Amino acid sequence: MPRPHRKFIDILEKSMVVADTMDREDLMFTYKGIPYPTTLCSYEVFKAMESFEARSDDMILAGFPKSGTNWFGHILLELITTFEKKTEVEPTIYGEEFDEFPYLEIGDTEKYQRMKKIPFRRVIRTHLMSQNLPKSVFTNKAKILLLLRNPKDLATSFFKFSKVMAPFPTYESWDEFFKDFMIGNIPWGSYFTYLSEWNKHADDGHVMPITFEEVKENPLLGVKKIAKFFELPLTEEELKKVAERSSFQAMKNNSKETHGVFGNVLFRKAV
Ligand code: A3P
């Protein structure tokens, strides 16, 4: 079982406290035309991110907020840890470095220098649109799993999440939220622009699109497809275990340990 992202929980907790003291209109700032949550992202970190050097064996998970990034991020960690144990590679993924907040664009300005020193295969999540990722992700052909979810379900999940996550602006009504969702006035911008920008890379050999729905319908097939894409040869039995340990129920049961107080918020309904 991959270790919990302690730093992930810490940063989220701090951002909740700070966001609680802020006025609603200050909760988002704009960078390159896209709104981001002020308590999680910053101009300085975006600038520092330009120094991020992608590697061809990086395992990148690109997904809009609420598309299932915690679920698929967990699948990637389960796959790599199973592979490392099997091949007797020192399971460095359990090391301190991996407590790093897992989203590329969130953290402190020094994190990209620390990431350079990570000696093992890196699992990196991002909510960013393709045009805003560091250029080396494409020039070095890092492998990208592009996660997509039905916009109606994603919007519902986002709306519910906004109600309980102080860093995201809250909405009194669905209609109010829906207007902002449609024009992209929500954290990380428009899901429709996100889709059309990423669509430009759908045929890149190092990008593999996958949908929330297909993996929900057939988790084992989804896990197999992901393992093949990242070139992690595992047995049927091992892949089955990864799928089981990544099920909604398994992750929800474990969520206090992995995500602290955010467990109930992140593992909501999954339908
Ligand atoms: P709902 O709010 O519709 O329940 P993210 O991790 O990007 O924030 O996405 C959260 C969504 O993924 C939530 O959707 C959550 O329930 C769902 N989810 C989380 N873990 C899951 C799993 N193991 N299987 C299926 N869905 C999962």
Per-residue pLDDT tens listing for the chain (271 residues): 555 567 778 888 899 999 999 999 999 999 999 999 999 999 999 999 999 999 999 999 999 999 999 999 999 999 998 998 888 666 555 445 455 568 999 988 998 998 888 888 899 999 999 999 999 999 999 999 999 999 999 999 999 999 999 999 999 999 999 999 999 999 999 999 999 999 999 899 999 999 999 999 999 999 999 999 999 999 999 999 999 999 999 998 888 887 777 777 788 887 7
pTM of the model: 0.94
Mutate which of 254, 267, 269, 271 for ligand 1? The one with the most ligand atoms within 8 Å of its CB, which is 267
Domain residue limits, the chain:
6-266
> Of residues 74, 127, 201, 259, which has the active-site annotation?
127
**Residue among 36, 170, 158 at smallest CA distance from 104:** 36
Domain 6-266: homologous superfamily in CATH: P-loop containing nucleotide triphosphate hydrolases (3.40.50.300)
Question: 127 catalytic, yes or no?
Answer: yes
**Residue among 189, 186, 188 at smallest CA distance from 176:** 186
pLDDT of residue 98: 53
Tokens 């339908």 — which residue? 271
pLDDT of residue 92: 52
Are the beta carbons of 121 and 80 closer than 8 angstroms?
A: yes
Q: For residue 157, which atom of ligand 1 is closest to its CA?
A: 2
Residues with CB under 6 A from ligand 1: 63, 65-71, 153, 157, 160, 216, 246-248, 251, 266-270
Are the beta carbons of 109 and 98 closer than 8 angstroms?
A: no
- Write the residue with the smallest CA distance to atom 23 of ligand 1: 248
